[in-house]
Amino acid sequence: MHPVRTSLVALGATGALLAPTSVLAQDQLSPDDVAALRSEIATLRAQLQKMEQRLDAATSAPPAPAVAKAAPPASKPASAPTEITWRGSPQFSSAGRTFKAKGRIQIDVGQIDAPGGLVDRGLGYGAEMRRIRLGGEGSLGAGVGYKLELELSDNNLDLVDTFVTYKAGSWLLAAGNQNQFQSLDEVTGDTVGSFMERAAFTDAFNFERRLGVSAQYEKGPWVLQGGLFSDDITALSNSSDGPAGGDENNSYGLDGRAVYAPKLGKTQLHLGGSAHWRTLKRVTDAGTRYRQRPYLHTSNSRLIGTASLPVSEEVHYGLEGAFVSGRWHGAAETHWQEAELTTGMRPTFFGGYAELGYFLTKDTRGYKGGQFDRTKPSKPLGAGGLGALQLNVRYDYLDMNDRGVVGGQQDAWLAALVWQPLEYLRFNVNYGLLIYQDATPLRNGDRDYKVNVAGARMELDF
């Protein structure tokens, strides 16, 4: 029996006994005894009432029997949130990993006016999709990154920047199809250049991306770059077999570049140099040509260039300097190309340029990591301004005459007006006066003449 209930029974029995006794013995007790007895009965009744209340509380909500609680299920680890930022296109970031789609569209129109005595159907007016590029870049965490881009140019689909990188502190290692650190104008992206096309020597000397491994060290004002490269992907991917096939291509080369880029107050300086060595091996069977278009890419004609040469080895080197100071920028480069022929001859060709640029708006040219970078308009279109407007002038020289090799000479005077209404959209208008010596002969045999060129480009990149 419940202990509370036992006490109630005992108190009830006590009360039952006392009550009749008190009644029967009332005539024999003194008034004081009767009063004491009644006080005792009142006390017992109060105790009985309290115990009844405790019993009611205990019986109205009986405690549930104790049951061992099961351990809660293990919670799934919370996934890292995905952050989306805008850099020309959405960039997705999560737990140290990133991905960003990349691409560009460049549409060119141009006019090349040559002397009437030069019959070439590739001159005159032209229009083309200069570049259509699509790809992506990102990081996998732990310092590992990647970039993959395909480009449609000259009606061919080519791999451009396609590599895997590893970054550790000041070091950046890369393996894949990439640029070879050949000159400031070459490594500066075509969507941030000051003209529609790069300096003449970069094309004439066959600068291009090649398959290889490279290392870059960047700390403070110093940028050091070097790599071991084979050939471009097109030369390596010939599907033919046998003696005339492309699988015997085993050319390779070493390339290096050093840049010192200190800041003096608000002025960014750039001083650099590069050196390159390449043994051509299998490529010598087809010969090597050094040649150049009349500036614009809308024409495939080359008015100056060497014949096919049996080149077995190339050594080329260059110097570069530049500055960015407020609205002003300037750049200059020189480059020498030595070609060792199987005949024992070693002609040396030379190219270089000097340029000066000024923003008509309150903007400045970008610079980062040993090369020119994107300009960000201080007042873009739609935000209280018309974007950035820049005027550039350049003198571009190329000489491919040496030791019996006559490839021609070019003096080019160029001007460009670049309007950038938004960070990732540009319009580039160019004019050039090209003065040739030893160029493609006219009908009367004259090889020294002038050519006027004018071009415009719309470019969108992200």
Domain ranges of the chain: 3-58, 99-461
Per-residue pLDDT of the chain (462 residues; tens, 9 = 90+): 454 444 444 444 444 444 444 444 444 567 777 677 777 777 877 777 777 677 666 665 555 555 555 555 666 666 778 999 888 889 999 988 999 999 999 999 999 999 988 888 889 999 999 999 999 999 999 999 999 999 988 778 888 999 999 999 999 999 999 999 999 999 999 999 999 999 999 999 999 999 999 999 999 999 999 999 998 887 777 666 555 655 567 889 999 999 999 999 999 999 999 999 999 886 556 789 999 999 999 999 999 999 999 999 999 999 999 999 999 999 999 999 999 999 999 999 999 999 999 999 999 999 999 999 999 999 999 998 999 999 999 999 999 999 999 999 999 999 999 999 999 999 999 999 999 999 999 999 999 999 999 999 999 999
The answer to whether 453 and 112 have CB atoms below 8 angstroms apart is yes
Alpha helices in 1-30 (DSSP H): 3-24
Which residue's entry shows tokens 């000159």?
183
Of how many residues is the chain composed? 462
C-alpha triplet 95, 96, 100: angle, nearest 5°: 105
Q: Where are the beta strands (DSSP E) in 114-236?
A: 124-141, 144-153, 156-168, 171-178, 210-219, 222-229
The answer to whether 200 and 410 have CB atoms below 8 angstroms apart is yes
Nearest by Cα to 455 from 412, 423, 421: 412
pLDDT value for 14: 45
C-alpha triplet 325, 329, 333: angle, nearest 5°: 130
- Cα–Cα distance measured from residue 216 to residue 222, given in angstroms and rounded to the nearest whole number: 10
The answer to whether 259 and 274 have CB atoms below 8 angstroms apart is no
pLDDT value for 23: 40
- Cα–Cα distance measured from residue 26 to residue 20, given in angstroms and rounded to the nearest whole number: 10
Helix or strand run (H / E) with residue 323: strand 311-325
The answer to whether 171 and 217 have CB atoms below 8 angstroms apart is yes
What single-letter DSSP state applies at residue 281?
G
pLDDT value for 43: 80
Helix or strand run (H / E) with residue 63: none
The answer to whether 143 and 164 have CB atoms below 8 angstroms apart is no
pLDDT value for 456: 98
Rounded to 5 degrees, φ, ψ at 285 are -60, -40
- Cα–Cα distance measured from residue 355 to residue 201, given in angstroms and rounded to the nearest whole number: 15
The answer to whether 127 and 457 have CB atoms below 8 angstroms apart is no
Characterise 265 by phi-psi region: left (phi > 0), alpha (psi -120 to 50), beta (else): left
Q: What is the CA radius of gyration of the chain?
A: 44
Which residue's entry shows tokens 């580039």?
428
- Cα–Cα distance measured from residue 356 to residue 392, given in angstroms and rounded to the nearest whole number: 6
Kindly give, in sequence order, each residue whose CB lies less than 8 Å from that of residue 35, ignoring residues fewer than 6 positions away: none
- The CATH number assigned to the domain with range 99-461 reads 2.40.160.10
The answer to whether 412 and 396 have CB atoms below 8 angstroms apart is yes
In three-state secondary structure terms, 32 is helix
Classify residue 396 by burial, with Cβ atoms within 10 Å: 0-12, 13-18, 19+: buried
pLDDT value for 19: 45
